[in-house]
Amino acid sequence: MLDPFVYKSDQLRVLFGRGTVDRLAGEVDFHKMSRVMVLCSHGRGELGQSIAARLGARAAGISNAARPGMPVAAFDQIVADLARLSADGFVCVGGGSPIGLAKAVAAQTRTRFIAVVTTYSGSEMAPRWYIGSGDSERTGQTPHALPATAIYDPDLTLDLPFATSAASCMNAMAHAVESVYSPETNPVVQAMAEEAIRLLGSAFPRLKKNPRDIDARTDALYGAWLAAAFRTPVCLSHNVAQRVRRHFGTDHGPTHAAVLPYAAAFNRPAAPAAMARIARALGTGDPAQALYDINVACGLATGLHELGMREQDIPRAVEIVANRKFPNPRPVTAADIENVIRQAFAGLPPRF
């Protein structure tokens, strides 16, 4: 018999599958947008042009102001570009950085946007937004940050380098793993998260062998969507990884990849049923070690020191994380946080 549970679904259109980017103009019309700006990252102007070409006369112009780290200057430039182009909507194409900035812009200006997703971060499915970093960070949470439609076309991921793909997939894996064992999980989320873990886990070796394997790309993108769309509030892994990357300048995906095995190992005694699900999805008896082994097999950093974090940063990182409140299946003390961060810093196999 199922225990009582709560499940909330956000209203968000999703187009998934090969060729769905060609339906972009129809989505713009569906949402009654007439002058549409295309937002992309600096250096991805060719991609932005290809998206604008699909919009025809609806395209008002291109802004390539998106930058990693959600800088305030990029946010201000995007808002200014929307005003300059008299746009009544915009299309954001790319991964976590342009989508993250798009969410902040949409939340602040109430301008609707369509997300054309090219990585596996899952940011487009979360209503939380932020800009800036460290002590100057501004953040919030609102449904207005969500895109009107998210388009997932695996063909747009074919040229993504394997290292970037692996790190982004491990970020998605962290969403799924934490959703399985979160105290706020439910049967719907657990079933979808387990499938996400299975799909992502099976995609890694195939993408390593052939980054242009469209079946593997499709599985990875579908797994990333499931991990993002069916999730719970983040637990220890995300709280450590997000604080480290924002305060100490480490790369987003690789930081989540490095921290996840240690947080999973710490939580293992408190969530045996959830760990059994994760183990089943990965085809292993030790899910924490399996996650560590994925990082090794993919050539990802296993230690935060490899990403630029310094050992003298650890006490500050512990303090920042310990001052936050977050759900976790196992109670977490400052000493526990320090243990997890020190193991993640060193990068040796998890020991709990």
DSSP one-letter string for 317-348: HHHHHHTS----SS---HHHHHHHHHHHHHTS
Instruction: Give yes or no for residue 214 having a pLDDT over 90.
Output: yes
Reported confidence tier of residue 269, pLDDT bands at 50, 70, 90: very high
> Range(s) for CATH 1.20.1090.10 in the chain?
162-346
Query: pLDDT value at position 162?
Result: 97
Look at the pTM and tell me if it is higher than 0.85: yes
pLDDT in tens, 134-158: 677 888 999 999 999 999 999 999 9
Residues linked to residue 16 through DSSP beta bridges, in sequence order: 152
CATH of domain 162-346: 1.20.1090.10
> What does the radius of gyration of the chain's CA atoms come to, in whole angstroms?
20
- What is the phi-psi region of residue 298: left when phi exceeds 0, alpha when psi lies from -120 to 50, beta otherwise? alpha
Is a pLDDT exceeding 70 seen at residue 84?
Answer: yes
Q: Which of the 8 DSSP states describes residue 130? A: E
pLDDT at 136: 76
Q: Residue by residue, what is the 3-state secondary structure of the chain?
A: CCCCCCCCCCCCEEEECCCHHHHHHHHHHHCCCCCEEEEEECCCHHHHHHHHHHHHHHEEEEEEEECCCCCHHHHHHHHHHHHHCCCCEEEEEECHHHHHHHHHHHHHHCCCEEEEECCCCCHHHCCEEEECCHHHCEEEECHHHCCCEEEECHHHHCCCCHHHHHHHHHHHHHHHHHHHHCCCCCHHHHHHHHHHHHHHHHHHHHHHHCCCCHHHHHHHHHHHHHHHHCCCCCCHHHHHHHHHHHHHCCCHHHHHHHHHHHHHHHHHHHCHHHHHHHHHHHCCCCHHHHHHHHHHHHCCCCCHHHHCCCHHHHHHHHHHHHCCCCCCCCCCCHHHHHHHHHHHHHCCCCCC
SS3 9: coil
Place of tokens 């959830």: 274
Across the range 227-256, mean pLDDT stands at: 94
For the structural domain made of 13-157, what CATH number should be given? 3.40.50.1970
Q: Which residue has tokens 């059994």?
A: 276
Query: Which tokens hold the place of 130?
Result: 């932020």
State yes or no: pLDDT of 7 exceeds 80. no
The whole-angstrom distance between residue 257's C-alpha and the CA centroid of its chain comes to: 11
pLDDT in tens, 292-350: 999 999 999 999 999 999 999 999 999 999 999 999 999 999 999 999 999 999 999 99
- Give the SS3 label for residue 113: strand
**What confidence score (pLDDT) does residue 146 get?**
96
Report pLDDT for 294: 98
Average of pLDDT values for 169-195? 96
48/61 Cα distance (integer angstroms): 10
Q: Report pLDDT digits (tens) over 17-32.
A: 999 999 999 999 999 9
3-state secondary structure 154-169: HHHHCCCCHHHHHHHH
Query: How many percent of the chain have pLDDT more than 90?
Result: 89
Instruction: Identify the band that residue 2 occupies on the pLDDT scale cut at 50, 70 and 90.
Output: low
Instruction: Tell me what the pLDDT averaged over the chain comes to.
Output: 94
pLDDT in tens, 21-78: 999 999 999 999 999 999 999 888 899 999 999 999 999 999 999 998 889 999 999 9
Whether residue 92 is predicted with pLDDT greater than 90 in this model: the reply is yes
| Per-residue model confidence (pLDDT) at position 66 | 93
Give SS3 for 15: strand
Residues of the chain with CATH 3.40.50.1970: 13-157
Determine the pLDDT at residue 10: 65
Is 177:257 a contact under the CB 8 Å cutoff? no
